[in-house]
A and B are shown apart, each in its own frame.
Chain A
Amino acid sequence: MIRHTLGGLLLVLSCLGRAVAAGPDCSRPFTLALHDHGLLYSADTDTGIDKDFADELIRRSGCKISVSLMSRARIWQLIESGALDFSLSGIANAERNRFASFAWYFSNKYYLLVRKDAGMHQLADFERSDQFQLGVIRSFRYSDSANKLVDTLAAENRVSQAGGLAPLYEALIHQRIQGMIMEPFDYPALDEKKIRDVTTIIEFNDPAIPHGLIMSKKALSPAEQDKWRALVNEMRADGTVLRIFEKYFKPDLARSMVDFQAPP
């Protein structure tokens, strides 16, 4: 009797424990795609914040996750179709929320990088100018005002899209585009490619946008999503995320990016 009870308790506990301690269901291999985006991930060096995060996630979850490199646009397409399970550092919007759920792990503001010789000093200038060509990465969304700017310019066909940052930098240097939207992890490239000399940065007056783990709703059930989210929260809580960021950023910047109030 007691043994049954104990056994049951143990079972329950173990189940509970498992439930509590159990991470996401690893019964099948998952796919995670990275995209080449500055410090987040560089295909050339095969390093980046997202890579580290992915590694950590794999380690913690214990699941088999195959990491591949894709263009961001493709990533979103596959997330939507359910062919891809995970991606990283994605931001939410109404449309994405339909097919993806997120687990935030950092946030940052967006900035507008403009050539000095474009003569723009305020956000409003871009909308008014006929000559300003903005460069964005296909399928990227940003903060509200940045989105507004992009949408306004897109309606006027003044947005040049690209598959990645590299051609945008090239284009900016060659004055094919006059500006592009930046996040902090794009900065090193500026120095490297000597873009900083010819450009200024204008800040979007939006609050920082949380970025997070993208989970395909089609591929993962809400319960699994919660598990994975819990996993990410764990990583945040125990400072793993901060550690990762501090590898690439200065401590205060890293902290400012990592410490955020996660929206519901």
Chain B
Amino acid sequence: MTWARLVLLPLLILSAALGVTWIVWDHERQASHNELLSQFNFSLGDVVSRVEQRMSTYEQMLRGVQGLFAATGQMDRDQFRDYVSALNLDANFSGIQTIGIIEWVPAARREAHIAEMRQLGFSGYTIAPQGLRENYAPIIQREPAATSRHAALGLDPWVDPVRRQAMEKARDSGMAAVSGKVRLGVDVGPDAKPAFIMYLPIYNRGQPHDSVAERRAHLAGWVYASFRMHDVIASLYGDPLPGLALAISDGVEPSAAALLYRSPDTGEQHEPPLISANEYLVVAGHNWTLSMSTLDDFKGRFGRNAEALIAVTGTGLSLLLALLAWLMVTGRGRAMRLASTMTRELRESEEKFRAIADCTVNWEVWWGPDGKPRWINPSVEEYTGYTVAECMAMTDFAGTLIHPDDRSRVAPEFLKGLQGFRGDDLEFRCVRKDGTLVWLSVSWVPITDAKGVFTGFRTSGRDITDRKQVEAELRIAAVAFDSLEAMMVTDARNTILRVNSAFTECTGYTAEEAVGQTPRLLRSHHHDDAFFSEMWETIHRMGGWQGEIWGRRKNGEVYPKWLTISAVTGEGGVVSHYVGTHHDITERKIAEERIKELAFFDALTRLPNRTLLLDRLTQAITVSARSGACGALLFIDLDHFKTLNDTLGHDKGDLLLQQVAQRLAASVRDGDTVARVGGDEFVVVLGSLHETWQEAASQTEGMGEIILDVLGKSYQLDDVDYRSTASIGATVFRGYQTSIDELLKQADLAMYKSKELGRNALCFFDPAMQTVVVERATLEAGLRKAIEGNQFLLHYQAQVLDGDRVVGAEALVRWQHPQRGIVPPADFIHLAEETGMILALGNWVLETACTQLALWAMQPHMSHLTIAVNVSAQQFREPDFVAKVLNVIRRTGANPNRLKLELTESVLVDNVQDIIEKMHALKARGVVFSLDDFGIGYSSLSYLKRLPLDQLKIDQSFVRDVLVDPNDAAIARTIVALAQSLGLGVIAEGVETEEQRDFLAGAGCHAYQGFYFCRPLPIEGFEQFADRERMKPKAARAS
């Protein structure tokens, strides 16, 4: 049943029923109306009928009188009276007012008539009204007898036109005729009731009266009856007509004038009459109009009041019917819905039950009395990973699942369950299918069947792994609480709830003293309220705060602590507790200080170290840039500090440094910085000097002088007096013009310059120095490249004997610079020595020389030549020098005897013993040693006897001036003599003139090297020279 039909059918029924109701109501209404109408009509007809009947009766009555006369031929008064009396007794004739006789008296008979009447006893009889007329029709008898003069006999109704008309009509038709509305003669009062008179003609006996003329001719008189309409109606209806108002009018038009009768008013009529009708009565040829209308209560009396009842009942029944129909129609639907609802509810309930039974969070097992599971709910899969089927299939379900360690605990409880006891809260572990463990809390209860027989027991297990975990965590937390950090737990209003032992230790307050207080207990007055409000604001915003705060112990001691506050929020995000931990960071703070110190300060002197210096310098530059004032950087280097260290020892050296530092610190102004950047290097930063460069420089100079002066004073190093000087390099800076690195370099260079200038001086940085540095750097780089790139080559300067025999050559290294061309060794040897490249260079030289020797060895006329190789002190000091040389010799295959190593005196400065050993080692292999630049160096003569030298080389500075300077000549001679006496060979270096040679020869020196003989030449040139010299005859050679 679709909705439409559901609604439509009842609606249809409703409309049908309502239709029926309406039809019935309408029918009833019509029937009621018809009933009223018919009742009205009936009443009307009844009235009409009665009136007609009564009038007919009256006519009959008059006919009786007429008959009376017709029978006797004359009017007997007594007879008439008796007749009328008899009539009076009959109720039918009530209503008659008067019955009377009228005699027709033509004018001629008038007198006779009057006489007759008087004779009869009516002495005062006359015809009234008086007057002569054509005809007279006086009343000659009336019953009841007239009581008043007005009703006296002799009244002539013929004069009244209304009466006359009726009398004439009666006379002419021979039938009764009714007059119109008249006023009776006896009625003299004002409220006379309307009346009418019925006339019946009497004709003379025995004479025909078939035509109008005959009737007129033979008229004897009339009998008449007069009626008051009111009395007539009253005689008809004792009580007024129920619910109806009646009015009778004369004629066909009801009007007030013509009104004969009106039924008495029964009070105000509120509504217009329901029905009203006029009926025209024909009474004795006279028309009357009978008007009847319903009164208000007509409907009440005669109406059927079933309409409303029908309507209401009908509607009600219709609605009921429709409702019934609807119920029936929807009944099925509703029944089905009900059924489906019930089914659904049942299903839901079933499902719920099943859900509870099957899918309860708990793991339910029903055990039989045999200890085997009878039913396991599907939750087992979640708990253990085994499906229900697997579980049921297990041989020992309990044993498989329960953790081995707990089995011993569980088994007795299990037995108790089998015996029918119940238990609770047995906690044990279960092994899941995948091997993991779950903690279960199990309760069990026995099951009995309907008869109460024990049929097994039911276990219900809950996973409490989480709880166990939580318990474990709580334990840990409890332990953690008692950690070494001071912990304090407050509630949301900062009341301390708990403190741990570390707290007590740290702050001095015991738990009893602290609990109930607020953290204000620990407040020192280091921090203002702003600090705390910011702290709390952070806590509220971030949920915690940590930082350094100064607290107060119980004993009043203020100490720094690192405080961490965490807000603990409960459910709903509302803060429930605050947890504060702190630890004493006094030590840390001290350590921090120390670290800072160490980081930034020199340990020994307590001056800022390089790191801090850079920072200070940066600041000074910034300040300078902002203010426009110049600043200056001074590099101060203690002169000969190393010597002090070596001589007096490091502890004295440290003392010196400390004192220097103190003095320096005292010398400078407050804003200036003194730092120690190296072993004996100090740096001073001067700030806020004059704005102009010159002024600033002079200020710096002034300061430098002061420093030099201060540092020059004697120091007291324990028990030693010491005087020291310093070399100062200064550079002025302003703003960011020069970078820090540049400044430092500049100052450094200046300092070196001052050292070069002789120490104990202040030297300003000169841009020219920069050039030197740059050049040096370039050279150094070039040198490295040269070594790698093999840009060196050896030139050989011949060493001659007696002036004509070439006995060997000195190998002199030349640098073939790609840009600069040949670079003489003076330009780079020093740098090589400084940079240590001399080793590589020396090795190369050695190797090249040995290779050459090896080559010469194969040339017979060259094989005797020796090559002298310069060896620097650095090279010689190398520990593996001997091995290297021997290696080279072996590799090249050179004859060691032909190799001469030239050492300078500087080699003998340090560790002479080592030198001696090395020389011996090489000597053993045949290598020859020569002492170069003899006379100008350090050499002590004692060394000469210890060193396994073979030759001394007289320095060219002596040789040059041998002829000019007697001192040099003396020295040269002495050296020769020395050499001879020690058995050493001697060779003079830098012989440029023959005279020099001659002198030297005279002195006993026969070996020479110099421009006079040969310049340093490349190998080809040398070999050519050697060849040429060989070719020269001896004599020529001697010249």
List B residues 240-265 near A (Cβ within 8 Å). Answer: 251-253
Instruction: List chain B residues, Cβ under 8 A from A176.
Output: 252-253, 278
In the bound assembly, the distance between CA atoms of A44 and B285 in angstroms comes to: 8
Max count, chain B CB within 10 A of own CB: residue among A154, A155, A157, A166 = A157
List B residues 159-211 near A (Cβ within 8 Å). Answer: 173, 175
Contact residue among B34, B37, B45, B281 (Cβ-Cβ distance under 8 Å from A167): B281
Residue B289 lies at the interface, judged by CB distance under 8 Å to chain A? yes
A167 and B280 in contact (CB under 8 A), knowing A174-B252, A176-B252? yes
Find the A residue at minimum CB distance from B274.
Answer: A157
Q: B58 to chain A: closest CB distance in Å? A: 15
Task: Type the 1/0 row for A134-178, where 1 means its CB is closer than 8 Å to any CB of B.
Answer: 010010000000000000001101011111101110110010100
Are A167 and B275 closer than 8 Å at their CB atoms? no
In the bound assembly, the distance between CA atoms of A19 and B635 in angstroms comes to: 191
List B residues 283-333 near A (Cβ within 8 Å). Answer: 283, 285, 287, 289
List B residues 585-618 near A (Cβ within 8 Å). Answer: none
A138 and B48 in contact (CB under 8 A), knowing A43-B175, A160-B277, A174-B252? yes
In the bound assembly, the distance between CA atoms of A167 and B178 in angstroms comes to: 14
Residue A73 lies at the interface, judged by CB distance under 8 Å to chain B? yes
Find the A residue at minimum CB distance from B281.
Answer: A163
Residue B790 lies at the interface, judged by CB distance under 8 Å to chain A? no
Are B282 and A160 closer than 8 Å at their CB atoms? no
Residue A36 lies at the interface, judged by CB distance under 8 Å to chain B? yes
Interface of A is mostly: mixed
Contact residue among B33, B173, B175, B278 (Cβ-Cβ distance under 8 Å from A160): B278
Instruction: List chain A residues, Cβ under 8 A from B233.
Output: none
Are A73 and B48 closer than 8 Å at their CB atoms? yes
Residue B231 lies at the interface, judged by CB distance under 8 Å to chain A? no
Are B282 and A170 closer than 8 Å at their CB atoms? no
Interface of B is mostly: mixed
Instruction: List chain A residues, Cβ under 8 A from B253.
Output: 171, 174, 176
Find the B residue at minimum CB distance from A160.
Answer: B278
Residue B380 lies at the interface, judged by CB distance under 8 Å to chain A? no
Instruction: List chain A residues, Cβ under 8 A from B279.
Output: 138, 160-163
Q: A31 to chain B: closest CB distance in Å? A: 15
In the bound assembly, the distance between CA atoms of A138 and B41 in angstroms comes to: 10
Are B173 and A162 closer than 8 Å at their CB atoms? no
Residue A233 lies at the interface, judged by CB distance under 8 Å to chain B? no
Are B285 and A170 closer than 8 Å at their CB atoms? no
Instruction: List chain B residues, Cβ under 8 A from A162.
Output: 279-282
Are B37 and A155 closer than 8 Å at their CB atoms? yes
Q: B231 to chain A: closest CB distance in Å? A: 22
Q: A193 to chain B: closest CB distance in Å? A: 12
Count class of interface residues, chain B: 20 to 34
Contact residue among A71, A135, A170 (Cβ-Cβ distance under 8 Å from B251): A170
Are A166 and B278 closer than 8 Å at their CB atoms? no
Are A171 and B48 closer than 8 Å at their CB atoms? no
Residue B49 lies at the interface, judged by CB distance under 8 Å to chain A? yes
Residue B52 lies at the interface, judged by CB distance under 8 Å to chain A? yes
In the bound assembly, the distance between CA atoms of A74 and B279 in angstroms comes to: 15
Find the A residue at minimum CB distance from B44.
Answer: A161
Instruction: List chain A residues, Cβ under 8 A from B287.
Output: 166-167, 170
Are B282 and A154 closer than 8 Å at their CB atoms? no
Contact residue among B45, B277, B289 (Cβ-Cβ distance under 8 Å from A157): B277
Are A171 and B285 closer than 8 Å at their CB atoms? no
Instruction: List chain B residues, Cβ under 8 A from A174.
Output: 252-253
In the bound assembly, the distance between CA atoms of A200 and B279 in angstroms comes to: 24
Task: Type the 1/0 row for A53-70, where 1 means its CB is closer than 8 Å to any CB of B.
Answer: 000000000000000000
Instruction: List chain A residues, Cβ under 8 A from B546.
Output: none
A71 and B33 in contact (CB under 8 A), knowing A161-B44, A171-B252? no
Are B277 and A44 closer than 8 Å at their CB atoms? no
Are B52 and A170 closer than 8 Å at their CB atoms? no
Max count, chain A CB within 10 A of own CB: residue among B48, B252, B277 = B252
Contact residue among B45, B173, B283 (Cβ-Cβ distance under 8 Å from A138): B45
List B residues 22-59 near A (Cβ within 8 Å). Answer: 33-34, 37, 41, 44-45, 48-49, 52
In the bound assembly, the distance between CA atoms of A138 and B278 in angstroms comes to: 12
Instruction: List chain A residues, Cβ under 8 A from B280.
Output: 135, 160-164, 167-168, 170-171
Residue B939 lies at the interface, judged by CB distance under 8 Å to chain A? no
Find the B residue at minimum CB distance from A167.
Answer: B280
In the bound assembly, the distance between CA atoms of A159 and B280 in angstroms comes to: 11
In the bound assembly, the distance between CA atoms of A176 and B289 in angstroms comes to: 11
Instruction: List chain A residues, Cβ under 8 A from B275.
Output: 157
In the bound assembly, the distance between CA atoms of A159 and B276 in angstroms comes to: 10
Find the B residue at minimum CB distance from A171.
Answer: B252
Instruction: List chain A residues, Cβ under 8 A from B52.
Output: 71, 74, 163
A167 and B282 in contact (CB under 8 A), knowing A157-B37, A157-B275, A157-B277? yes
Closest 7 CB pairs of A and B: A167-B280, A162-B280, A170-B252, A163-B282, A167-B287, A164-B282, A171-B252
With A43-B175, A161-B44, A170-B287 known, 9 other A-B pairs at CB within 8 A are A73-B48, A135-B280, A157-B277, A160-B277, A160-B279, A161-B277, A166-B282, A167-B282, A176-B253
A-B contact pairs, 27 of them (CB 8 A): A36-B282, A44-B173, A44-B285, A71-B52, A71-B282, A73-B45, A73-B48, A138-B48, A160-B278, A160-B279, A161-B44, A161-B279, A163-B48, A163-B280, A163-B283, A164-B280, A166-B287, A167-B252, A167-B280, A167-B282, A167-B289, A168-B280, A170-B251, A170-B252, A170-B280, A171-B280, A176-B252
Q: Which residues of A contact B (CB under 8 A)?
A: 36, 43-44, 71, 73-74, 77, 135, 138, 154-155, 157, 159-164, 166-168, 170-171, 174, 176
